[in-house]
Structure 1
Amino acid sequence: MSLYVRGRPVDADIDAIVGQHGFAVETHTTTTEDGHILTLHRIVGVNGVRAGAPVVYCHHGLMTNSELWVLGDATERCLPFKLVAEGYDVWLGNNRGNKYSNTHARWDLEDKEYWDFSIDEFARYDIPASIGYILQLTGETVLKYVGFSQGSSQLFASLAMNRELNGKIQHFTAISPVLVPQRLTHPVVAPLMLNPHYIEYIFGPKALLPFVPTVNSWLPSGLFNKVIDVSLQVLFQWNGINIPQSQKQVGYPHLYSTSSVKSVIHWFQIIRDQQFQLFNNTQSYNTSNIDTEVLLIYGDADCLVNIEKTCESLQSCKVETVRCPSYEHMDTLWAKDVENRVFNVILDKYRDIDGGREAIKSSGSLFL
């Protein structure tokens, strides 16, 4: 089934997007130890969710949200829908600060304290809280984790901080995995590497570019898509030639969601020092604590992925790599042939783990 978008789909939320594909969404919330209220989305097929079905948790990248996973221009080009059809219980997470997780037990969005978070807080609080909630609700003891870009970084950091969490991850698929990105060379961006805190002087201490959704709604879709293409070319030298225009039309209007300026500063510190480290260089994440099995899927034209350095950092666990020739960063979700080159690779891996398609689909007996 193809997803046809008429007009400007900017205001459509995940329920509407998923509904166009014939699926539904359950909305759940959990509160972190430091008071952030996170929204989790569970994808539900026409037959509901089978009790005892193996769980897959998907987490988005920097400055996006759970919608990222369901923005394929056709149903078969969305990984969660393929997983649900295979018999999995599929959940999508959201970081603090994005459009679905923007409340706190104490702080308001106008408060500077609300936005005082970086990768450290994502890893220390958000990921364990989300995984803990899902496992408690489903009664399962382990789940499979799929992270895109920073979504993979957050689990790497979380596993490094929390050795106990390793026992709850049956398998970890890192798509376009970002651990220590290669240095950015654009003349506007490169000087910020010298002192990443300059970013706060430019953008303030709260949310980064909160006006983007408004600009998105004002501009004609073709012009907005062009702005995105040019921005990605200038910043990262991505050409986007593997992504169909139909995919950009569906995906680009939903690509951006708010995050903190501090989280971007954190990335610039990591890039400058070429170390996967905590905020303000206090210490490196101890990746030797990671012992879950990892599958790395990456494009060899992706300047943000340093696959050699990533593998060097993961010597304490079993690691498999899948290289996608000519793929850039977003291609691992949106390229025209992504179903065969990425999604089916993941499904085949899961079938190996779970004993095949029929074994997965027959797990459990009751619908929730």
Structure 2
Amino acid sequence: DDGYILEMHRIPFGKANVTWPNGKKPVVFMQHGLLCASSDWVMNLPEQSAGFLFADAGFDVWLGNMRGNTYSMKHKDLKPSHSAFWDWSWDEMATYDLNAMINHVLEVTGQESVYYMGHSQGTLTMFSHLSKDDGSFAKKIKKFFALAPIGSVKHIKGFLSFFANYFSLEFEGWFDIFGAGEFLPNNWAMKLAAKDICGGLKVEADLCDNVLFLIAGPESDQWNQTRVPVYATHDPAGTSTQNIVHWMQMVHHGGVPAYDWGTKTNKKKYGQSNPPEYDFTAIKGTDIYLYWSDADWLGDKTDITDYLLTHLDPKVIAQNNHLPDYNHLDFTWGLRAPNDIYHPAINLCTKDYLGN
């Protein structure tokens, strides 16, 4: 609705020829997290990747890409070289991108609803959109699988916590250092570094691992080490500096506020001095399956227990799955994820679709 052209990827068929009673495949839509892309769902081996596992189980798999990442770099009027192209945060992703992609999937497939699996920011945008929904969008989401769910990020740890506290409330410093454009793009320099460092000697590969662990949480010994160069080649996949600033604002706010433009602009955009907060208590009409862990430094345990679980209506929480020893990236790349998350989710969706 605001001119961005989003690229989605589809896996319409799997290895097995699965037939469904009504002749229509159930649809699963997967949404990546912060600084990630659709590739996150298919970067492991077929028997380890959520995208491939759902496809092999007979699902029509759609992988979304939010504005500003590797695959969604187009706009009907603006070019990425224009500063205005990057004038957004996850507010716009929740308001425009999510709705546009889901509606397109339903139009193409002829289905009335999808099964939604989100990771990290992919949960934040869904929670935020549902919190403002009048019921028309919630009915399009049959089940919402929230991996490493994000509400408040007041208690995040690691590298991002350092950045948030270092800059404190002087968020303009981010724009001074990184510019008001693209943040951590997936360009040739990043790909070269991934190849030479992450795919190099063991000491270099260990350095690559440790950088990721500084962001996501401690090593959990459940990564396929041969795939680390693949992970690092695709991620980070880029976003806007403004989006990162919004995340840093959330750390200091302690809740889930809209982007803070400053008092003057806030009054113009919101009609008040401070940005409004997304009200997760208003979420209705969608069954939510939570998957979180003590070892996740972005989706911190305290933020889950003290904020998310107290702001979501217990009636919408179908399952609350507390998984041991999962860092933030293990939910998409971890070798235990198929048994702990993907296969159970496939079984739930299959039974639901068949009416059992």
TM-score category (smaller protein): 0.7 to 0.9
Q: TM-score w.r.t. structure 1 length?
A: 0.82
TM-score by length of 2: 0.84
**Residue 42 of structure 1: aligned partner:** 10
One of 107, 111, 118 as aligned partner of 1:147: 118
Report the alpha carbon displacement of residue 242 of structure 1 after superposing the two structures with TM.
2.6
TM-aligned CA deviation for residue 107 of structure 1 = 0.5
Residue 269 of structure 2 is aligned to residue 270 of structure 1: no
Any conservation in 2 of the 1:45–1:85 contact (CA below 8 Å)? Answer: yes
Structure 1 consecutive aligned stretches of length 4 or more whose deviation exceeds 6 Å: none
- Residue of structure 1 in register with 2:179 after alignment: 204
SS of 1:153's equivalent in the other structure is helix
Post-superposition shift, 1:225? 4.4
| TM-aligned CA deviation for residue 258 of structure 1 | 1.4
Question: Structure 1 residues 188 and 270, CA, compared in 2 at 3 Å: closer, same or farther?
Answer: closer
Relative to structure 2, which stretch is displaced further, 224-233 or 169-178? 224-233
Give the aligned partner of residue 269 of structure 2. none
* 1:180 corresponds to 2:155: no
SS at match of 2:237: coil
Deviates more, 1:207-216 or 1:298-307: 207-216
- Number of the residue aligned with 1:304: 298
Matches for 1:82-161 after TM superposition, within 5 Å: 82-161=53-132
1:185/1:67 CA distance change after superposition, 3 Å: closer
User: What SS does the aligned partner of 1:279 have?
Assistant: coil
C-alpha separation in 2, matches of 1:206 and 1:262? 8
Alignment correspondent of 1:279: 259
Contact 1:229–1:240, Cα closer than 8 Å, also in 2: no
Superposed, 1:208-219 pairs within 5 Å as: 208-210=183-185, 213-218=188-193, 219=195
The aligned counterpart of 2:233 is 253
Cα distance in structure 2, aligned partners of 1:195 and 1:162: 33
2:305 corresponds to 1:325: no
**For 2:235 and 2:205, how far apart are their aligned partners in 1?**
11
Are the aligned partners of 1:57 and 1:145 in contact in 2 as well (CA < 8 Å)? yes
Please state if 1:62 is matched with 2:34.
Answer: yes
Distance 1:316 1:112, change over 3 A: farther
Q: Is the 8 A contact 1:116 1:262 kept in 2?
A: yes
Out of 311, 314, 331, which is 1:313 matched to? 311
Matched-pair contact (CA < 8 Å) for 1:299–1:332: no
Per-residue deviation, 1:331: 1.1
Q: 1:97·1:115 contact (CA, 8 Å) conserved in 2?
A: yes
- Displacement of 1:212 in angstroms is 5.4
Matched, 1:222 2:221: no
State the percentage of identical aligned residues: 28
Q: Where do 5+ consecutive residues of structure 1 fail to align?
A: 1-32, 360-368
Q: 1:49 to 1:162 in 2, by over 3 A?
A: farther
Farther-moved stretch of structure 1 (270-279 vs 203-212): 203-212
Alpha-carbon contact 1:55-1:88 (below 8 Å) kept: yes
Given that 1:49 and 1:89 are in contact with CA atoms closer than 8 Å, whether structure 2 keeps it comes out as no
- CA distance in 2 between counterparts of 1:272 and 1:345 reads 36
How has the CA–CA distance of structure 1 residues 194 and 81 changed in structure 2, closer, same or farther, with 3 Å as cutoff? same
Tell whether the 8 Å contact from 2:216 to 2:297 is kept in structure 1 after alignment: yes
User: Is the alpha carbon distance of 1:247 and 1:210 closer, same or farther for their aligned partners in structure 2, counting shifts above 3 Å?
Assistant: closer
Query: How much does 1:237 deviate?
Result: 4.5
Question: Distance in 1 between the 2:144 and 2:336 partners?
Answer: 22
Structure 2 unaligned regions, length at least 5: 261-273
Give 1:283 shift: 0.8
* Distance (Å, rounded) in 2 between the aligned partners of 1:272 and 1:193: 8
Root mean square deviation of aligned Cα:
2.3
Q: Distance in 2 between matches of 1:69 and 1:313?
A: 28
Deviation at 1:188, TM superposition (A): 4.4
